[in-house]
Structure 1
Amino acid sequence: MIEELTTKRFLLRRIKDSDLNNIYKGLSHPEVIKYYGVSYNSLEATREQMRWFRELEQKETGGWRAICSAGDETFLGATGFNNLSKEHKKTELGFWILPEFWGRGIIQELLPVICNYAFENLHLHRIEAFVESENVNSAKALKNQGFQHEGTMVDSEVKNGKFISVELFAKLKSK
């Protein structure tokens, strides 16, 4: 995975050990984890997430980056790829933003750069995104960037003791 990607307003950089507090802030915030599959209730527990980020890159099965403002590198959220398959030329995209930065077009500005990187530099053909059915904002962001809704996996996961449905979106490399 590349070290950094930039847009006019944002920087994607490697997640550092010093990001632990910000990762915890996001992945313990009720509004972030409402539609997110991972949450933590302590800094110590969040260290597991930090190990997971490192393992993804070591195993070459993905990579996540901190989303920061380009000017002062304020931490805004995180994005990246999981389950990268070189054989099948595909990956799974994930992202989350701290609530105080919602509504600023961050994901809209970053998705074209992230997708282009996946298609051109990682030589992938397909990017998938799995979105909880009630997460209309993430679904809208993906649709606005050319991701196609491929279907609903009804009652496919259990969250907080209840079945939830998950929407599958995908974007293919243009031919």
Structure 2
Amino acid sequence: MEFPIIKTDRLLLRQFTGTDLKDVYRGLSDPIITKYYGISYQSLEATKEQLKFFADLEKNGTGIWWAICSLHDGTFYGGAGFNNLSKAHRKAEIGFWLLQDAWHKGMIQEVVPLIFTYGFSNLNLHRIEAFVESENTACKNTMRQLNFIHEGTMRDCEIKNGELISLDIYSKLKTDI
């Protein structure tokens, strides 16, 4: 199956490639970007694991992630997609991140609805869910802008950097659209 390319008037969502390594490293080594992302890399070599993760999701049928780029000049902005895809339960978890210079430009609000459409139409999903650290107010605001339903908070459910954290659960159902 050919990798699905998604376009908007200004953005291109395409498959991650090895040429994205430096940009992925730039994003996922930035402590401001990774504060709530849960993954951080300290070298280009280690960042290759993230590119392998994206490829393995697709190969194993457990998700799909797109590189978010400029449609006009190919500038790399970040990534978005699904992981933890369960065909049996018709659900997947959505995630996304952007380089800091792409923040506050409406890119996530532009591409995520198209990713929803892909998930509901092409992957036969019924539920798309997001787990957001309770302190990540920017992401929680984005969830509201994207009309996700806040289902609740899992209090002190994970340990990150030696500290207990809580996660807010958001969802969008196919029937919500």
Q: Please indicate the TM-score interval, normalised by the length of the shorter structure.
A: over 0.9
Task: Report the secondary structure of 2:175's partner residue.
Answer: coil
> Hey, what's the Cα distance between the residues in 2 that align with 1:2 and 1:115?
16
> Hey, what's the Cα distance between the residues in 2 that align with 1:100 and 1:82?
25
**2:103 corresponds to:** 102
> Hey, what's the Cα distance between the residues in 1 that align with 2:126 and 2:83?
15
Q: CA deviation at 1:161?
A: 1.2
- TM-score when scaled to structure 1? 0.96
> Hey, what's the Cα distance between the residues in 2 that align with 1:141 and 1:28?
22
**1:123 corresponds to:** 124
Which stretch of structure 1 is more off in the superposition, 139-148 or 95-104?
A: 139-148
- TM-score when scaled to structure 2? 0.95
Query: Which residue type is aligned with residue 67 of structure 2?
Result: A
Query: Which residue type is aligned with residue 22 of structure 1?
Result: D
Q: Are residues 1:167 and 2:164 paired?
A: no
Q: Are residues 1:153 and 2:154 paired?
A: yes
Task: Report the secondary structure of 1:53's partner residue.
Answer: helix
Structure 2 counterparts to residues 11-90 of structure 1, below 5 A: 11-90=12-91
> Hey, what's the Cα distance between the residues in 2 that align with 1:87 and 1:126?
12
Deviation track 1:61-115 (CA, whole Å, cap 9, x = no partner) reads 0011100011111000001110111110000000000011100000011111110
**1:10 corresponds to:** 11
Query: Which residue type is aligned with residue 130 of structure 1?
Result: F
**1:137 corresponds to:** 138
Q: CA deviation at 1:27?
A: 0.5
Among the aligned pairs, what percent are the same residue?
53
Aligned length: 175
> Hey, what's the Cα distance between the residues in 1 that align with 2:3 and 2:46?
27
Gaps of 5+ in 2: none
Task: Report the secondary structure of 2:83's partner residue.
Answer: strand
Query: Which residue type is aligned with residue 27 of structure 1?
Result: L
Deviation track 1:99-135 (CA, whole Å, cap 9, x = no partner) reads 1110000001111111011111111100001111111
Query: Which residue type is aligned with residue 39 of structure 1?
Result: S
CA RMSD of aligned residues (A): 1.2
Q: CA deviation at 1:2?
A: 4.0
